[in-house]
Amino acid sequence: MSGNNEALIYDTLKENGKEKKYHKVLGKNRGFKSLAFGISALVGAGIVWLFSIQETFYVVILVSLLMIVISLRLNEPKIHTGEISDNPFAHFGKSIKNVWKNKRLRYLTLATGLDYGIGMAAYDFVNVFFNRFVPTWVLGALRTFASFLGALGNFLSHRISISFGYTKTVLGFIGLNYVINIVSVLTNSVVSPFIKAFDNLTYCIAEPAQNTLMQKEFTDKQRATMGSVVSLFRSFVYGICSLFVGLMADIFSEYTSLMIMYIAFFFLLPIYYKGLKAK
């Protein structure tokens, strides 16, 4: 998600003096989004079963129009209106400098960027590996199940972070996420995709906590752009990793390619630790 969406949530809360509730609100926002993914998959499957795949496109158009209507009713936070006088390029350059100069942001941007790039490239590819063990419809059902687990993780994220602290929550659940991913490939059997489904639960507990820490480091004037800088870096890493995972599969095998990607995950934990401990 680009930085402007999270900045809209944070600035809206700050305008009302409720920025301390950001983590809780973000968790709910992400949780309902995950629920929507799961429900839409079920609805889409039902439409295809009752009618045809063509009808799903009509539904998508209607939903998109509804989203536009709702977005037009959003209120723009006014707390920073008139403060930004830089031209867009100077503002973007200043945002990059602010990310680089802040030690915590620098390490967390590197860690989350590599995490996202490696994770998404592997996620796009992993069903090719799992298809050897279960039919495609089972993989679709498991992704729907994973969406519901992700919703649960997002809803629980704030409560768990308060109970255990942000550093333990991020490191603990990110580490557990890495273990689940590598075990899902190591088992190399019909249980592999079922194990993999649970990684969404751990990721969605850790991610809102990590995002909340980064929001606290962003400057008010550059909040949206700094978030977009982080998002841009993640997308760049994702593109590189997508090429790499396919190349390794062609040179070696699907199993080896995924193992390389998931082993690489564990080298990110020290970077996360430095970012979380930085002041």
Task: Name which residue leads in pLDDT, 160 or 136.
Answer: 160
16-45 burial code (b ≥16 CB/10 A, e <16):
eeebeebbbbbbbbbbeebbebbebbeebe
Beta carbons of 166 and 188 less than 8 angstroms apart:
no
Percent pLDDT > 90 in the chain is 73
User: Minimal CA–CA distance to 125: which of 212, 206, 242?
Assistant: 242
* Sign of the torsion formed by the C-alpha atoms of 102, 105, 109 and 111: positive
| pLDDT of 235 strictly over 60 | yes
Give the CATH number for residue 192.
Answer: 1.20.1250.20
Amino acid at 176: L
Residues 254-270, mean pLDDT to the nearest whole number: 95
pLDDT at residue 84 in the model: 60
Of 43-52, 109-118, 177-186, the one with minimum mean pLDDT is 43-52
User: Minimal CA–CA distance to 58: which of 72, 44, 39?
Assistant: 44
Question: How many separate domains does the chain show?
Answer: 1
List all residues 6 or more positions away from 110 whose beta carbon is below 8 Å from its beta carbon: 271, 275
Structural domain of 242? 3-79+88-277
pLDDT at residue 79 in the model: 64
pLDDT at residue 43 in the model: 87
Residues 40-49, mean pLDDT to the nearest whole number: 86
For 56-98, how does the pLDDT look when each residue is reduced to its tens digit (9 = 90+)? 889 889 999 999 998 888 887 876 655 565 678 888 899 999 9
For 163-221, how does the pLDDT look when each residue is reduced to its tens digit (9 = 90+)? 999 999 999 999 999 999 999 999 999 999 999 999 999 999 999 999 999 999 999 88
Q: What is the mean pLDDT of the chain?
A: 91
